[in-house]
Structure formats: C-alpha cells, structure tokens
Amino acid sequence: MSGGDLLHVQYSPRDRSLDHIYRLPRDTASLEEWHRRRQLDLAAMDDAALAAEALRVVHRFSYEPDRYRRAWLAERRDAMQAERRRREAVR
C-alpha cells in the first residue's frame, strides 16, 4: 500500500469511533506517524508493547469496513508476526 492511500479516504463519525480502538497513522502528523505507517516502529517495541499492538490491530480489523484501511491493518499484522518470528530466531 502506498504512503497516501489512507489519506484519500473520507472519515465518518463511525470511523472516528474506531480510532478509540486503534488509531491509524496519519502521514502528515509527525515522523513517528510516518514510521508507523511504514511499519518501521516495530523493531523498537518491547515484547509486551508488540503484543498489545497486535491485539489492538486485530480488534480494529474486525470492525473496519473500509477495504483500504483493512489492507493496511493486515499489512501491519503481518509485519508484527514477522517481527515476532525474527525475535524468536535471535533468542
């Protein structure tokens, strides 16, 4: 998914309520959000933070109606699983 895909989707009040479950990154917000958008923040998380992030992503995915956002959430989930496998291989 390219960097600007999520920005072109309009937010409804229902979408804003989903942000309470898990807020999607905004490219224009900060460098931290840019890293989140591109899955570059996962390596810096400890195991507990990564597990909590995974739960929030799966929860948001189960309620998300928009296919573009669901695609990013699936990409995020896959990146977290890859990070967990990488950590287990190092141990």
Structurally, the chain folds into a number of domains equal to 1
User: Could you list the residue range(s) of the whole structural domain that residue 34 is in?
Assistant: 5-90
- Interval 26-85: pLDDT, tens: 777 789 888 999 999 999 999 999 999 999 999 999 999 989 999 999 999 999 999 999
Distance CA 81, CA 77 (A): 6
Q: What is the pLDDT of residue 26?
A: 78
The pLDDT score that the predictor gives to residue 29 is 72
pTM here?
0.81
Distances (CA, A) of 1 to 14, 15, 42, 73: 23, 20, 17, 11
pLDDT of residue 13: 65
Q: What is the pLDDT of residue 2?
A: 46
pLDDT score, position 91: 84
